[in-house]
C-alpha cells in the first residue's frame, strides 16, 4: 500500500512580543532570521537537525528554506505562519492551514478546513480544531521561553485515495522571537500510531 505521508507536513510548520500577559501580536519576521531545531522522530528512534532560514518576506507571505542533512527544500507560509506550501512534500494547502490566529488570546478557539494537493495531484481534505490553551514557560535546548500553548486535533480524509488519518499537535509559540520553540505531532492510521515527532528549538539567530 502506498503511504500518503504528505499530511505529516503539519509537523513541519516553522517555528510580536508580549502585548500583555495573555495576548500576543502578529509575528515580526525578517529576511535572514535563522532558527535551528532538533527533530526527534520517536517512532523511528532517530534525531535530525533542521535549519530554517527566512529567504523572503512580502506583504502576504514568508518563504523559508528548510535544511536537513539529507535534503534542502523551501516552504511557504502566510505572514502569520499559516501553511501554504509544505517544505516536507511540496503539498499546497488551499486555503492555508491557520495554526495561529492573531492576536493570540488564551481561550480563543477556531477551525481550519482545507484541501491539500500533492505534487502527484493526490488530494485530501483536512478538518482541524485549534485552541490557545494557556501561557506557559517552556525549557528547550535554546533556553527558557514564555510561550502560548496551542492545542490542535482533527482529521485528514482522502479525496483521491481511501483512508482517514487522525492528527494531534501541540505548539508552544514564543512571541519574543515570533516562532514556535517546541511542537509535538502525532497521527494515527487504522487506530495505530503512525508518526510521533518532538521538535525543539536549539538556537535562534535574528537577522542583522
Per-residue pLDDT tens for 76-123? 999 999 999 999 999 999 999 999 999 999 999 999 999 999 999 999
3-state secondary structure of 33: coil
Question: Given a cut of 90, is residue 164 above it in pLDDT?
Answer: yes
Per-residue pLDDT tens for 65-75? 999 999 999 99
**pLDDT, mean of residues 61-65:** 98
Report pTM.
Answer: 0.89
Give the span between the Cα atoms of 4 and 103, in whole angstroms. 34
User: CA dihedral defined by 56, 48, 84, 22, rounded to 10 degrees?
Assistant: -90
Amino acid at each position: 500500500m502506498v503511504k500518503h505521508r504528505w499530511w505529516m507536513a503539519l509537523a513541519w510548520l516553522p517555528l510580536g512580543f508580549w502585548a500583555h500577559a495573555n495576548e500576543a501580536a502578529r509575528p515580526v519576521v525578517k529576511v535572514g532570521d535563522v532558527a535551528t531545531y532538533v527533530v526527534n522522530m520517536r517512532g523511528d528512534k532517530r534525531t535530525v537537525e533542521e535549519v530554517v532560514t527566512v529567504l523572503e518576506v512580502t506583504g502576504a507571505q514568508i518563504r523559508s528554506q528548510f535544511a536537513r542533512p539529507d535534503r534542502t527544500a523551501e516552504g511557504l507560509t502566510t505572514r502569520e505562519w499559516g501553511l501554504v506550501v509544505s517544505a516536507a512534500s511540496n503539498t499546497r494547502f488551499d486555503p492555508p492551514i491557520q495554526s495561529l490566529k492573531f492576536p493570540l488570546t488564551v481561550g480563543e478557539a477556531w477551525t481550519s478546513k482545507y484541501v491539500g494537493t500533492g505534487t502527484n495531484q493526490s488530494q485530501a481534505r483536512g478538518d482541524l480544531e485549534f485552541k490557545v490553551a494557556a501561557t506557559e514557560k517552556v525549557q528547550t535546548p535554546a533556553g527558557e521561553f514564555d510561550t502560548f500553548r496551542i492545542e490542535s486535533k482533527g482529521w485528514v480524509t482522502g479525496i483521491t485515495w481511501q483512508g482517514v488519518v487522525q492528527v494531534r499537535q501541540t505548539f508552544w509559540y514564543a512571541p519574543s522571537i515570533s516562532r514556535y520553540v517546541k511542537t509535538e505531532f502525532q497521527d494515527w492510521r487504522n487506530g495505530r500510531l503512525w508518526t510521533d515527532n518532538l521538535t525543539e528549538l536549539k538556537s535562534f539567530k535574528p537577522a542583522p
